[in-house]
Amino acid sequence: MPAAIFLSPEDAEHAYYEALRAGDTDTLMDVWSEDEEIVCIHPAGPRHVGPAAVRASWQQILAKDGLHVAASHLQVARNPLCAVHNVLEQVQVETRPEARYAFVLATNVYMKEADGWRLVLHHASPAIGHEDTGAHLARPHHLH
């Protein structure tokens, strides 16, 4: 059983983005369901199915000192057992000579399980039409 219990999808999402920023794969995987049907799709990447494949994909991404990401523009669809969060992610891709960002649209689906809310699907794709201004988004949404 995972170490953390998330009482709401928002709690799970907050832990998810904190783990990404920290580069902590173990904490990140605590957010995910242990179900063999979980799915993770990174921008322009293949579909990873099951905890082992999802973990391996994140280990490769986070091997370089975490992911500098901020989520904003949260849209939510929810019922008592499922929550679908769609966010705009701003990912820092360069720091020198100045900060540069990529923008990603991500859909995170959370299910209520016996041990709290768990992530079952993360699907991310490039956010076409969002320009890199070198500055943070004007409307940040704090997920917690």
pTM equals: 0.85
Selected residue with higher pLDDT from 96 and 143: 96
Domain count, the chain: 1
pLDDT digits (tens, 9 = 90+) for 7-24: 999 999 999 999 999 999
Question: Which residues are CB-contacts of 127 (< 8 A; sequence separation ≥ 6)?
Answer: 88, 89, 103, 104, 105
Residue 75 lies in a domain: yes
Helix (H) or strand (E) holding 19: helix 9-22
What sign for the dihedral angle of Cα 5, 46, 88, 66?
positive
Q: Is residue 136 situated within a structural domain?
A: no
pLDDT tens for 98-135 read: 888 899 999 999 999 999 999 999 999 999 877 655 44
- Within a domain: residue 71? yes
Is the residue at 56 inside a domain? yes
**Chain centroid, CA 111 distance in Å:** 15
Task: Name the residue range of residue 49's domain.
Answer: 9-126
CATH of the domain at 32: 3.10.450.50
Look at residue 132 and tell me if it is in a domain.
Answer: no
In a domain, 22, yes or no: yes
